[in-house]
Structure 1
C-alpha cells in the first residue's frame, strides 16, 4: 500500500534528488565491490544493482505519483541508456508496472475523494462498487462499478492531493528550466507553458469526460478501433466515469503470435499518429497502460486527459516537411523551416543538419520496406534528437521549436516506443503515404479504415 501522496514542493524535489544521488552511490559501490571478482560474480552484482535501482524507482516514483511517475513510465518505455545494454530488459520490465500497477492508495482515502467531489455517499452514486482497484496509474486509480441502470462502468479517481503534487512538480520543473534549456534549447518558455497547461488540464476529469465522449463518438462503429463511452453527468473534477471495456492488457498482447502483434501495431499507429493528419486531433499520451485488446479483435484506447487539437496550418506544415524529408529535398526542408520561423539563425544550421533532425524522429515511418520496431530503434531515435552529445542536430536543438511541433514529436516518439515494446513489423511508410499523399491503402485494415472515413458523420466538438 502506498503512502499518502506528498504535496510539498521541497519534499518532492528532495525525493527525486535522493533517487539520483542514490544511483550514483550505488554505481560507485558496485564498481568497488567488483574489484578482483570473477566475471560471473561481476555480472551477478551488476544484475542485482540494476534490479535494486529499478525497484527503488518503482517505489519512490510510484509513491510520488503525478509527473514523477510519468518520468518512470517514460524510462520504462524508451531506453535512455541509464543501464548497460544487457540489463535493459530487466530494468524496463520492473519499471513497466508504473503504467497500471503502481503502489495503490487505500480505498477509504479514495472513497472520500468520490464522496467529497460528488456530494453524496458512495451507495447513492453507484449500485455496486468494487473496492479493489483495477489499475493504479500516475494521477488516479481505476475501479469497477455499476450504475443503477445496470451499466458496468470504470471509475477513475484522483489520488488525494495529487493536484497539489503535480503543481509542486511543475514548479520544480521551473527550477530546472535553465538546466534543461542548456541541453535542449528548443524548449522555449512557450513550450514550458504549453507543457504546464497540458498537465493542468489532465487534472480536470470533467474536461476529460467531455473529451472522451467526443472521441468515442468520432470512432463509433469503427471496424477495429473502439473508445469507451464517457458519462460526464456522473463525472466531476476528480472522478471520471466511463463505460467498462473488458480486454487483455498489453503484457498479454506482447505474448501473442507475430501476425497478431503486427496487426495490433498497425492499429496503434493509425490511431495515435494517423488521427493527427486525418482528423486534426490526437491523443498525446500513447503508452501500454492505455491499450487493451477485446475478444472481437478491436483495440480499446483509454485515457484522454492529454488530448490535442491542431490548426490545419500546423498539420499542413508538418506534412509538407515530412514530404520534403521523404523525397530527400534537404534544401527545401531547410527553407521551409526558415520561412516558418523555426530556424531563426540560419548561419547556425546547415540544410543537412535540418534534414538529419527531421529524420531522427521520422525515418522509421519513411522507409519503404517492412521494418520491425525494436526498443533499441525507438530509443535511438529519441536519443539522437535530444542528446546534447549528438553533434549532428545540435544546431537544430537551438532553434525556436514551437509547442505544437514538439507535442507531435512526442506522440511520434512515444508511439514508436509502444511499437518497440510490441516488436511490431509493418511497412509503416505505406500507411504514412495515405496521410502525406492521399495514397490508396494497401493493407486490409487500411481499406476498412478508408471506407469508415468516407462513411462517418461529422462528430460534434465537445467544447
Structure 2
C-alpha cells in the first residue's frame, strides 16, 4: 500500500534533494571503483548502480506524484543515460534501466481507494453509487496527478474515471516553488536544461492541469475535431460528470504501447505514421496540440485505430506562430540558411547581432529536426530523440552557449516538446518512413503520398456535421476550444 503523498514544500523538497545527492554520491562511488575494476567488474558494478538509481527514481518520484513524478516520466521518455556513464553499456542493460523508469507512466504506487473515494464524493456531493452502477476499486492506471479506474454508468456504458490525488494541488504548488531542486535532477542528465524555455513552459502548464474541467474542455475539442476519423480515435467524454477533480470518459480497450512495439515492421510503421499525423499534424493543421506524447497515452484498438488519451497539457498556436514554424521548416529543408537566419531575427528568436551564422542556424535545425527535413526513408533509432534534444541543450555539443540567451517563445518551446516526444515514440517503435514526404502535406500542402494520407485527406474533404457542442459545468465548449 502506498504511503501518504508528501504535500508540504519542505517535505517534498527534502525528498527530491536527497534523491539528487544520492545519485551524485553513487556516481562518484562507481567512478572511483572503476579505477581498479576489470572490464567485467566495471560493467557489473555500473549495471547494479543503474538498477539502484532507477529503483530510487521510481520509488521517490512515483510516491511524490505531481511535478516530481512528471520529471521522472521525462527521464523515461528520452534515453538520457549519459549521467550514469552508460555510453559503453550493452543494450540489454540500457533497456533494463528504461523499463524501470517506464513504470512511472502507469505502475507507480497507487493511493488507497478510500482516499480517492473521498475526492469523488466530495466533488459530486453525494455517494458514489448514485453516480456509478459499478466501480472497480483497483486502478487501471496511476499518473502524475491522478489515478484511473474502470466503472459503469447506470445506462450500462463502460467509462474510465480519472480521480485527482487528494491534496495534489498543494503538492504541485510546492513542487513549483521547489523547481530548482527538481531540475537539478534533470540537469545532471541534460546539462543546462533548467535555462531552457521548455522547462518553464511545462511548469506553467502543469499548474493549469490541476482543474480537470479545463482538461475536459480540451478533450471535448479534440473529440469533435476527430469525430469519424478513419484511423484516429478520441474517447467520448461525459462532460456532465466532469468536475474539478474527476474526469469521466468513454472506456477504450486496446493494446498498450509495449505490445505495439512487438508488432511486425509494417504494423509498427503504420502506427508510427499515425502518431506523426496526430501529434504534429494536429499542431500544424488545427493550430492546437496536446503537449504530452508518451506511451501511457496511446492504445491500439481492436479495429486497428490508435486511441489517444489525456489532454491536460494542451496548447493553442496562433496563425503567425504556425506560419513562422512552416517558413523555418521550408527554409531549412531547402538549405536556404540566410533566409532561415533572417526569419529567426525578424521573429525575435535571434538578436540581430547574435554570433549564430546562417550556416550554424541551418546546421542546428538539421541536427534537431533532420528526420523531418530529409527526403529519404528513415528508420528512427531508439536514441534519436535524446540525440536531437541534447544537440540543443547540452553545452558539450557546441550550440548551447551560442543559443542560451536567445528568446524562445512559449508556444514554440512546447512545440519542440511535442516534436521530440513524437520522435521518442517513433524510436521506441523503431518505425520507418519517409517522414519528410508525409509532412509535406502540411509544409507545402502537397498531395498525400501514403495510404493513410489518402484516407485522411478524403476524410478532411468530406462534409462534416457537428453535433451540439458539449457543456462543462455550465460552460459551452466551442469547436475552437474557447469557453463562452
Q: TM-score, normalised by structure 2?
A: 0.91
Q: What corresponds to 2:226 in structure 1?
A: 219
In 2, Cα distance between equivalents of 1:193 and 1:264? 31
Quote the offset at 1:34 in angstroms: 4.8
In 2, Cα distance between equivalents of 1:377 and 1:105? 35
| Selected match of 1:183 from 192, 195, 198 | 192
In 2, Cα distance between equivalents of 1:458 and 1:197? 35
Quote the offset at 1:305 in angstroms: 0.4
Q: What corresponds to 1:61 in structure 2?
A: 61
1:373–1:419 CA contact under 8 A, matched in 2: yes
Which moved further from structure 2: 145-154 or 37-46?
Answer: 37-46
Residue 159 (str. 1) matches residue 159 (str. 2): no
Quote the offset at 1:200 in angstroms: 1.9
Q: Note the 1:224-239 alignment, pairs <5 A.
A: 224-239=231-246
Q: What corresponds to 1:419 in structure 2?
A: 426
Residue 243 (str. 1) matches residue 226 (str. 2): no
| Selected match of 1:379 from 382, 386, 391 | 386
Which moved further from structure 2: 30-39 or 131-140?
Answer: 30-39
Q: What corresponds to 1:139 in structure 2?
A: 145
In 1, Cα distance between equivalents of 2:420 and 2:64? 25
Quote the offset at 1:184 in angstroms: 5.5
CA offset digits 1:230-249 (Å, max 9, x no partner)? 11111100100000000011
SS at match of 2:159: strand
CA offset digits 1:395-439 (Å, max 9, x no partner)? 223211111111111110111111111111111001111101011
In 1, Cα distance between equivalents of 2:407 and 2:244? 35
Which moved further from structure 2: 356-365 or 36-45?
Answer: 36-45
1:284–1:411 CA contact under 8 A, matched in 2: yes
CA RMSD across the alignment: 2.2
Residue 435 (str. 1) matches residue 442 (str. 2): yes
1:184–1:397 CA contact under 8 A, matched in 2: no
SS at match of 1:242: strand
In 1, Cα distance between equivalents of 2:49 and 2:439? 42
SS at match of 2:408: coil
Residue 117 (str. 1) matches residue 123 (str. 2): yes
SS at match of 1:398: coil
Quote the offset at 1:393 in angstroms: 4.8
Q: What corresponds to 1:95 in structure 2?
A: 101
Residue 70 (str. 1) matches residue 70 (str. 2): yes
2:162–2:246 CA contact under 8 A, matched in 1: yes
In 2, Cα distance between equivalents of 1:16 and 1:88? 23
Q: What corresponds to 1:168 in structure 2?
A: 174
In structure 1, runs of 5+ residues without a counterpart are: none
In structure 2, runs of 5+ residues without a counterpart are: 467-478
Quote the offset at 1:174 in angstroms: 6.1
SS at match of 1:216: helix
Change (3 A) 1:251 1:135: same
Q: Note the 1:33-44 alignment, pairs <5 A.
A: 33-34=33-34, 36-44=36-44
Which moved further from structure 2: 68-77 or 321-330?
Answer: 68-77
In 1, Cα distance between equivalents of 2:32 and 2:183? 35
In 2, Cα distance between equivalents of 1:33 and 1:211? 51
Q: What corresponds to 1:262 in structure 2?
A: 269
In 1, Cα distance between equivalents of 2:293 and 2:175? 21
Q: What corresponds to 2:476 in structure 1?
A: none
